[in-house]
Amino acid sequence: MSKIVTVNQLSKTLGNIRAIDNVSFDIESGEFLAVQGPSGSGKTTLLGLLAGLEKADEGSILIADKELTSMTEDQLALFRRYNIGFVFQAFNLIPTLNTLENIALPLYPERMNRTDMLERARKAAHDVGLSERLDHYPSELSGGEQQRVAVARSLINEPKVIFADEPTGNLDSKTGEKIIELLHNLNKEKGQTFVLVTHDDKIAKESSRIIRLIDGRIEHDK
C-alpha cells in the first residue's frame, strides 16, 4: 500500500488553546482509520485541517502528493472537490435541494450537462441504497437517510480520501450501525481511504487503525 496522507509536525491554535500540537502520522491508501479522544482533544480540528477546511499554523499536510498548507482558499476548494469527501455529524444538506440534487451538489460548479450530473448522482444514490428517495427533500428524510445522502454526496467525485466527523453522532444505534456498515462496504468495494472521528469504541474497534488524541497530541496510534 502507498501513503495517501502524510502529516508532519502539524499544529493549530484556536484562541488560547493549542488544539493540535505537533502531530505527525501517515495514512495508507485504502485504510479505515478511526480518530478517537475525549471532547476537546482536537479530533474535529484535525479532521478540518486534513480536509483543508482549516488552515494549519505550523507543519505540513500532504494528500495524494499535494501540499495543502501552501494552497490558497480557492486552490483548497478545488482540491477538496476532486480529492476529498466530507461527511458531517449534522448531515449538512441543503434544505432547498432534493436528494438527487444534494448528492450532485459538488458537481454544480462544474458547468456539466444537467442530465449527466443527475445520472452520476443517481448512481451514487444507488450505491448508498437511496434509489427510492431521490425526489425527497431533507425535511422529508429520516436521520439515517439524510446521512446516506451526505455519504453519497461525499462519493460523487470519487475522492481519494473520505473524512467523516462523528457520522453516527445524530443517529440511533441501529441506524448508526447501518451507516458504518455502508462505509466499510464502500471502503472494501471502492478501495477508498476513510478517516473517521468517533466516540464509539465499537466503531473504532471495527477500524483497521485507531489514533487516540489527548490535548491535541497523539496518545497512541495502532
Partner 1 sequence: MLHYAMKELLKRSKLYLLSVMVIGLVTLMVITLNSLGVAYKEASRSPFDDIRGTIIIQRNGNVPENVSGVLLSCSLAPIHQEVTSRISKINDVRDISTALSLWVFDAEHFKRVLGVNWSDNFGKKLTSKLIDGSIPKTDREVLAEKTYAQRNALEIGGKIDISGQQFTVVGFIETTGNELVASDIYINLRAAQEMAYQSKNLQEVEAFDKTDVNIVFIDAAYPNVVAVTQQIKQIATSDESNAGKTPLGQTIGNYNIYTPESFENQISAVFRISDKLIWIISLVISVGAALIVARNTLHNILERRKEFGIMKSVGFRSRDIMREVSIETFIQVLVGFAIGLILSAGAIVGLAHTTISIAIPWELSPYPHFLLANPNEANVVQTHLLPIKLEPLYVLSSFLIILVIGLITSFLGTWQINRLKPMEVMRYE
Residues that bind partner 1 (CB under 8 A): 44, 48, 51, 53-54, 73-74, 77-78, 80-82, 86, 88, 90, 92-97, 101, 105-106, 108-109, 111, 114, 153-154, 157
The least distance separating partner 1 from the CB of residue 168, rounded to whole angstroms, comes to 17
Three-state secondary-structure class, residue 152: helix
Measured from the CB atom, is 38 or 109 closer to partner 1?
109
Measured from the CB atom, is 199 or 209 closer to partner 1?
199
Measured from the CB atom, is 69 or 201 closer to partner 1?
69
DSSP H or E segment with residue 6: strand 3-14
In sign, the C-alpha dihedral spanning 104, 203, 194, 166 is positive
Kindly state the cell numbers that stand for 161. Answer: 480520501
The least distance separating partner 1 from the CB of residue 187, rounded to whole angstroms, comes to 20
Measured from the CB atom, is 141 or 173 closer to partner 1?
141
Q: Judging by beta carbons within 10 Å of its beta carbon (0-12, 13-18, 19+), is residue 115 exposed, middle or buried?
A: exposed
AA identity, residue 16: N
Q: Give dist(CA 61, CA 83) in Å, integer.
A: 14
The least distance separating partner 1 from the CB of residue 189, rounded to whole angstroms, comes to 22
The least distance separating partner 1 from the CB of residue 141, rounded to whole angstroms, comes to 16
